[in-house]
Every structure is written in C-alpha cells, then in structure tokens.
Amino acid sequence: MDTQAGSRSGRGRRRPMRAVHTAAVLHDSPTPLARMVGRGARMTVKPLLRMAPVDVRTIRRIQRFSEVVNRGASEDIAVEVCEIGGVPGEVMTPGDGPTTGLHLLYLHGGGFFTGSVHSYRSMLEEIVRATGGTIYAIDYRQLPDAGIAESVQDAIAAYAGVLDRAPDASKVVVAGDSAGGYLTMKVAELATRRGLPAPAALIAFSPLLSLEPDRQDKNVMRVDKVREAVLPIARVAALRRLWLPEDGAPIEGFADPLHASAYIHSPTQLVAVEDEFLRPEVEALALLLDDKGVEVDVHLWRGQLHAFPIMAGHLPDADLAIELAAEFALTHIGEPPAVEVEDLDAQPETLEGEMA
C-alpha cells in the first residue's frame, strides 16, 4: 500500500492524528469521561483478558457475566420478540411507531462467544431513538456451541428475513461492531453471491475484517503503535483455534471480509479507534472499496475503547458516534435528518492512498 499523508497540528496534543484514507474524519478530542473509562479498562479489563485461559470454561464464565447486564426495554421503546429469518431476535421501534422507513439489522460483537440482544439493549435503544426506524437484532449462534461458519449463516438468514419484512428493500441497512462488523461485511458479500438486494448502507464499528489481524506481514499501512485498552493482541491466536476448529464447517465465501471487496457495493461507514490493533485493516478495506468507486465514510477516534459506540446512552462520545451513523443510514435510504450532525472538534484529513 503506497500512501502520501498530510498532517495537522493537534490542539495542544503531543502529536497529530494520522490517517491513510482520503478524507477520513478525525475525532481527536475525547471527553474526560472517555479518558477515565479508557484508563479504567487498561488497569482492569485488559489484564484480566491477558491472564485468563482461552478455553470453553472461560467462555462460559464470560457468558454468565454478560447475562448480569441484561435488562428489559425502556418504556419509550416497543419490542417484538420473534424469529428473524429463523434466528431468535427482537424487533425494536419507537413506542409511538416508526418515524422513518429505515429497517436496520444490527449484529452485535463479542468475539463470537459473548454478547446478546439483551446485553446490547442500551445501544440498540439509542439507535432506535436516533433513527426513528425499525431495528432488528439477533442472537446468532456462538462459541462454544457453534463456530464462525454458523454465525455467518445466521447473519445472512436474518438479513433475508429483514428483506422479507421490510416494505422496501432499498431502505434496509446492516450494521455491527467488532465480530458483528465481520458479520456485517459477510452479509454484504453473501447478498451479492446469492443474488439478494444489496444493503442500502453498511456501518461497522471497530470491525474484525480478517481472522488473522495479529499478523504483521500484511500489505496494510500502520501509522500508530497499538495501545488498545481492552483487547490483548496476543490472545488472538488462541481465539482463532476456537473460531476455526479443524472439524468445523467451512465459512461460506471468503473467510476474511478484507478479501471480499469485489462483492461489496453498498455505501459504507467504517469507524475505528486510533490505536486499536484492528484499525489497519479497517483503513485497508476503506482504500479497497474507495478504489472500486464505493462511497466510504471513515471516522477515526482518539482516546476511545475498541467498539466504544456500544456504550451509547452512557458515554457522550458513543452517543455522537451513533448519531453520525444514524445520519449516514438515513441519508442512504433517502430520508436524511433535518439537522446535520456535527462534531465541532473533528476535522477531515486530506490524504491520498492506494493499494499497491
């Protein structure tokens, strides 16, 4: 990848943020709360994840802990518990009914072994409020009971289910974070392969775009050191053995969405944190899509945690990320919000990059 990069002075920062994608939007002023959350994660969550064995017993313990944060829906949100394309899930709308024609399938993250509709409740409700649309969320199969291949099949089945339920296929959007970002891109790829209508837009927060993000010998540009506050990169190899068991089913299409850009045609918003180890491949995909004429909207955030938008409803920075995503989704279904969402501290970075 050959890149020519400009730079700008950070406001009182020791160093400017840098990017490798044309017109990436750089959000370089985290709120004090975001900084505090990041420091807390570095001191607690990351050490625990670094020491915990990567095995079925640990996964079960994490899943039990995740269940503790489950809660019911807020009074202003209407919830239908149902199957979406044969996959267990929920459909959420504003309590007084949808105000836009958006139908959005959200695929949660969690490394393919944790997370659920219920543990993502706060974020999902903020998406409902920000978009005024109909939001679908599923509990796709996960480790240790199923591998990534089964997660992918559930995701594309749910997408087909949303297409069946939505009055207008041109208003269906797919979004996800981390492992759910992987599934988001797989949905886009498999929709093309299967002849289904392409999503009106794709939104991915800190997406996992390959099953080997820890490898350093890839043709991707790295402009910052990894200082990710949550995910220990050294644990990826152990997780990969669980993601891809020797006797597991093959993943339909490409195992790595990073290789599937030829099958992705939808306008795409990609969000990453400045120093997370998944970021280089996010920008690599952005360049690949941009090179083939796909509209790409890249947002890079300083001082945040991996997949920080999941804290929407509790963290102002996450709320802003959701509002920007909602604006992107609504614009691409032809119903842009009346007031443009703006981060006054963000600036575009005018750069030129291309894949070698």
DSSP-derived 3-state class of residue 32: helix
Quick one: tokens of 191? 């929709």
| Alpha-carbon dihedral 279, 283, 289, 293, rounded to 10 degrees | 150
* Contact (Cβ atoms closer than 8 angstroms) between residue 107 and residue 175: yes
178: annotated active-site residue: yes
* Contact (Cβ atoms closer than 8 angstroms) between residue 349 and residue 6: yes
Cα separation, 161 vs 28, in Å, equals: 39
Cα separation, 1 vs 20, in Å, equals: 10
Can you list the alpha helix ranges (DSSP code H) found in 197-315? 236-243, 279-291
Q: Choosing from 178, 210, 261, 266, which is the catalytic residue?
A: 178
Quick one: tokens of 1? 């990848």
Tell me the DSSP string of 120-155.
THHHHHHHHHHH-SEEEEE----TTTS-HHHHHHHH
Cα separation, 259 vs 206, in Å, equals: 17
Catalytic residues: 178
